[in-house]
């Protein structure tokens, strides 16, 4: 019997192709067209920001040719999330001016052709391979550029039956096929998603690239390898150009998209990123009802960096937290959070969710930490229904700081708590200080964080720059199991 390679599935994909009823659009009164654009933009922006699920990505593209006018691509961890996204679009006024031209449902997949050791529980998987596979399982839509989508299958003819070849032969052919793809690393991002049992074809292939000729070239070269030349069957190809949701009206008015202003903004952002190495994250340590969030982040990062405290850099290592305060019983709160946490742990962007009990106040904190600000923000929607929630960190009056997470060596826990009491007495004497609490993980008493409330940002900065804080940091190096971590609120 011919061996089937093992597979592992990741996020699901929906490619939703739409044609615009241009006659109906031209006849519609401006008031109705304005409403349609407003609802269409709102839908697209919410899904690009992934407010509908704990993780995922979406993008909208202007399609060239007669196959469709628009393509909306959704990647989500569950098929149910795609189902909801599909139906929510139909509720918008904009949907009344479109008809579905085509659609494709699939699920991202890696198979034993990549590296059979990945599926061996006893084998040690190379870290680079693991990262590569994760990127394939949880695909992203690039912020800019072109997309090509096409469905394909492997041939099952009497003399050309892919599924009757021995595994070793198939693996060698796929390796040769992959060699061509690897030549385009950095130019083309490929998403290979299985549609076996979902669609007429067996895979949906999505190619993203800044230069459309790179897309043409990779497909052309792959046609000459045996896996494609002998065993590949292809259907219609779609080519599109990504544009931001706010350009929907420009698209409908026949203007170039992305608009010139948007392209200039993107170039400016790219230049700034190259010059600064990424810049501060969109989340900040606290809120004061307004002000410059970037300045808050930069000031606190700089102060902590001077003290050799990890503050979310280098870029790419930032994590983002949603923190909700509750006056409910800590055990009751933990029981509720444990159920939600089981769902969060299915997502690769989830870092940690835990309940912390206050030692100076009668409230607890639910802390949910994620790799991305959007995922942390989405998690907040699920956590806001927990019992007894009274506030969200960053939304209090004045200026709040949190995120100084400490893991203490068990033998020094008592020393740490005593030291906090001493520092707390010093804080009580400082101008602009309202409240500071030490919160302890309900599951691990050695895992703690400190939350403070101040009159203004500068009051908090005065403490970060003080000798008392510096001395505490120096003292703590010997009793902490790891360096303090400063996370940023989503």
Active-site residue set: 150
Q: Tell me whether residue 262 is exposed, middle or buried, using C-beta atoms within 10 angstroms of its C-beta: 0 to 12, 13 to 18, 19 or more.
A: middle
Nearest to 58 by CA among 147, 124, 125, 133: 147
Residue 425 is inside which H or E element, if any?
helix 413-428
3-state secondary structure (DSSP) of residue 185: coil
Buried b (16+ CB within 10 A) or exposed e, 22-43: eeebeebeeeebeebbebbbeb
Length of the chain: 490
**Pairing verdict, β 320-326 and 232-234:** unpaired
- Indicate the DSSP class of residue 2: P
Using CA atoms in the order 299, 304, 307, 310, what is the torsion angle rounded to 10 degrees?
A: -140
Place of tokens 């052709």: 113
Say which residues have a Cβ less than 8 Å from residue 395's Cβ, sequence separation at least 6: 287
Place of tokens 């304005």: 34
Which two tokens mark 119?
A: 């599926």
Buried b (16+ CB within 10 A) or exposed e, 147-163: bbbbbbbbeeeeeeebe
Q: For residue 25, what are the CA distances in angstroms to 28, 32, 82, 120, 244? A: 5, 9, 27, 56, 21
CB 50 within 8 A of CB 57: yes
3-state SS record for 29-58: CHHHHHHHHHHHHHHHHHHHCCCCCCCCEE
Nearest to 376 by CA among 244, 218, 455, 487: 487
Nearest to 314 by CA among 301, 323, 324: 301
Task: Please give the Cα distance from 138 to 334 (Å, whole number).
Answer: 29
DSSP 325-383: EE-S-HHHHHHHHHHHHHHHTTSTTEEEEEEEEESSSS-EEEEEEESSHHHHHHHHHHH
């Amino acid at each position: 019997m011919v061996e089937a390679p093992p597979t592992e599935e990741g996020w699901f994909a929906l490619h939703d192709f739409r044609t615009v009823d241009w006659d109906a659009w031209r006849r519609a009164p401006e008031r109705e067209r304005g409403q349609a654009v407003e609802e269409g933009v709102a839908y697209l922006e919410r899904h690009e920001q992934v407010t509908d699920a704990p993780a995922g990505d979406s993008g909208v593209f202007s399609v060239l040719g007669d196959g469709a006018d628009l393509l909306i691509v959704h990647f989500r961890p569950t098929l149910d999330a795609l189902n909801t996204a599909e139906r929510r679009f139909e509720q918008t006024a904009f949907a009344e001016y479109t008809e579905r031209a085509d659609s494709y449902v699939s699920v991202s997949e890696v198979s034993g052709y990549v590296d059979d050791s990945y599926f061996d529980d006893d084998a040690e998987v190379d870290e680079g391979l693991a990262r590569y596979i994760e990127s394939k399982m949880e695909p992203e839509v690039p912020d800019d550029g072109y997309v090509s989508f096409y469905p394909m299958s492997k041939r099952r003819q009497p003399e050309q039956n892919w599924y009757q070849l021995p595994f070793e032969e198939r693996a060698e052919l796929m390796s040769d096929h992959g060699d061509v793809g690897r030549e385009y690393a950095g130019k083309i991002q490929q998403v290979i998603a299985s549609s076996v049992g979902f669609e007429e074809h067996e895979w949906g292939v999505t190619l993203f690239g800044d230069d459309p000729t790179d897309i043409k070239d990779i497909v052309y070269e792959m046609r000459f390898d045996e896996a494609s030349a002998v065993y590949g069957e292809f259907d219609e190809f779609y080519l599109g150009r990504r544009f931001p949701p706010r350009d929907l009206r420009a698209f409908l008015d026949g203007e170039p998209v992305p608009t010139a202003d948007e392209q200039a903004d993107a170039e400016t952002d790219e230049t700034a990123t190259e010059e600064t190495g990424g810049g501060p994250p969109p989340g900040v340590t606290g809120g004061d009802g307004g002000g410059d969030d970037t300045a808050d982040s930069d000031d606190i990062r700089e102060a902590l960096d001077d003290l050799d405290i990890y503050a979310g850099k280098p870029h790419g290592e930032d994590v983002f937290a949603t923190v909700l305060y509750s006056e409910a019983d800590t055990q009751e709160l933990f029981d509720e959070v444990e159920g939600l946490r089981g769902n969060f742990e299915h997502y690769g962007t989830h870092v940690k969710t835990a309940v912390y009990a206050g030692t100076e106040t009668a409230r607890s904190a639910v802390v949910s930490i994620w790799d991305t600000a959007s995922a942390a923000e989405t998690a907040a929607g699920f956590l806001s229904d927990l019992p007894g929630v009274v506030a969200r960190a960053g939304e209090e009056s004045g200026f709040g700081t949190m995120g100084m997470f400490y893991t203490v060596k068990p033998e020094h826990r008592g020393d740490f708590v005593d030291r906090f009491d001493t520092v707390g007495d010093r804080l009580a004497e400082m101008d602009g200080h309202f409240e500071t609490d030490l919160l302890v993980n309900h599951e691990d008493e050695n895992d703690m964080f400190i939350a403070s409330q101040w009159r203004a940002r500068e009051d908090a900065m005065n403490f970060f720059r003080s000798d008392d804080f510096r001395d505490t940091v120096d003292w703590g190096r010997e009793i902490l199991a790891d360096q303090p971590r400063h996370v940023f609120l989503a």
